[in-house]
Amino acid sequence: MGRERLKIIGGSALEGEVQVSGGKNTSVAVIPAVLLSDQPCTIENVPDIEDVHALMDILEHLGARVRYIPGVSMTIDPTGVEDWHVGYHDAKRLRASYYLIGALLGRCGKAEVGFPGGCTIGSRPIDEHLKGFRALGAETEERGGMVVAQAKELTGGDVFFDMVTVGGTINVMLAAAKAKGTTIIYNAAKEPHIVDLANFLNSMGAKIKGAGTDVIRIKGQERLHGTTYAVIPDQIETGTLMIAAAATRGDVTIHGCIPTHMEALTAKLLEMGVRVSDSDDSIRVRMMTAHRAVNIKTQVYPGFPTDLQQPMSALLTTAHGTSLIQETIFDQRFKHLDEIARMGASVKVMGRTALIEGVPQLYGAPVTVTDLRAGAALIVAGLMASGVTEIYELEYIDRGYEHLEDKLRNLGAQIVREET
């Protein structure tokens, strides 16, 4: 058990203004992408989270020089990187370590990377990533807990994904950026961070077209150069804050976000009776009365994101009526509901479907985080509940949210972190 817990006294409406941090899932793709450059790169807006620190350590072990000033920028000089081996202990610290395979293949023509870690939200194979590398002429092998990929010469090729995979799309883009010739990815993921990574690589001299559609064309380049680039704001943090504002019947304006990335969530909140308005780079969420139940089906972008299913289902535990949630992306992403049931929620989970019957009130209880967004869901539940909620295993939350409890406290939440 971790040494710290969050203690929340629920019931305070969140009110005020908050700034969203830079994107986690875009940063963890952009940082390994620097390995493709011949020169140092500077990345702005990188969030100060554990997944970022894990990647910095890995890059340093590989021979890169990294200078990170949280809130300012991260500069990575990859010129000293000649190693292509990322061991088990480093790789298992985060899911995104799988991007080192694509990035090292692109840089060194070979990669030996331990199987990735990350949230246990179901089986998470990487067979599609490996299929993509093979289409680029690499040989791949899984040996002793390591993924080994190597190519005499990476050459462009056609990659047709059997399912839409965010990680697979990013990994193939990384390797293809330096392959000889053109790669076409069919059935590509369209998430905002796919577009952000393509923009980052293009700012290094890559030739990538079509990111944000389901066909991406990458004309490989022999050399990529240094750049300075600011990553997009975190779409899931924005959504978590929107849900927390609605859950506490508050009035919160989130600054620095991209409202068009939030449309699936905004539509659902409006359907529930929440008031949502936006400007170019801010969203205001207000909730005055009780909220209605809605049905949710998670989908790839621009559908409802699986990463917001968990905090959203926490909100739905106190909605008027019954909500049906279908999780189509991962097969075990309802563990948070077992914990929220301990706070008085009425939930029934059947495989990838959850039925939530709204109750008038949740009650504080000790609960345990099982994965990153489960942590967000338990915080939302704690903010809504009457009495004290204690949340354990905070390292999951720290992997992906920058100063979340400080932001919530500034909005009026009664939330403290303490030693157990």
Binding footprint of ligand EPZ on the chain (CB under 6 A): 25, 28, 95-96, 119, 123-129, 163, 165-168, 306-307, 329-330, 372-373, 400
Least spacing, CB of residue 109 vs ligand EPZ, in Å: 22
Least spacing, CB of residue 24 vs ligand EPZ, in Å: 6
Q: Using the minimum distance from each CB to ligand EPZ, give the nearer residue, 194 or 293.
A: 194
Q: d(Cα 173, Cα 198) in Å, to the nearest integer?
A: 8
Least spacing, CB of residue 329 vs ligand EPZ, in Å: 5
| Token reading at 39 | 């020169």
Q: Using the minimum distance from each CB to ligand EPZ, give the nearer residue, 112 or 128.
A: 128
Q: Using the minimum distance from each CB to ligand EPZ, give the nearer residue, 127 or 139.
A: 127
The Cβ of residue 235 has, within 10 Å, a number of other Cβ atoms equal to 25
Q: d(Cα 245, Cα 380) in Å, to the nearest integer?
A: 9
* Closest chain position to ligand EPZ (CB): 167
Q: Using the minimum distance from each CB to ligand EPZ, give the nearer residue, 173 or 365.
A: 173
Least spacing, CB of residue 168 vs ligand EPZ, in Å: 5
Q: Using the minimum distance from each CB to ligand EPZ, give the nearer residue, 20 or 119.
A: 119
The Cα angle at residue 64 between residues 63 and 65, in degrees rounded to 5: 120
Q: Which of 166, 148, 145 is nearest to 84 (CA)?
A: 148
Q: Are 169 and 216 in contact (CB under 8 A)?
A: yes
The answer to whether 257 is a known catalytic residue is no
Least spacing, CB of residue 165 vs ligand EPZ, in Å: 3
- Axis-axis angle for helices 24-33, 192-203 (nearest 10): 30
Q: Using the minimum distance from each CB to ligand EPZ, give the nearer residue, 17 or 127.
A: 127
Residue 186, judged by CB atoms within 10 A of its CB (0-12, 13-18, 19+), counts as: exposed
Q: Which of 139, 205, 201 is nearest to 169 (CA)?
A: 201
Positions of E strands within 33-145: 41-44, 65-69, 73-77, 85-86, 110-114, 139-143
For residue 326, CA distances in Å to 299, 305, 321, 337 come to 9, 11, 17, 13
Least spacing, CB of residue 12 vs ligand EPZ, in Å: 26
Which residues are identified as catalytic? Answer: 119
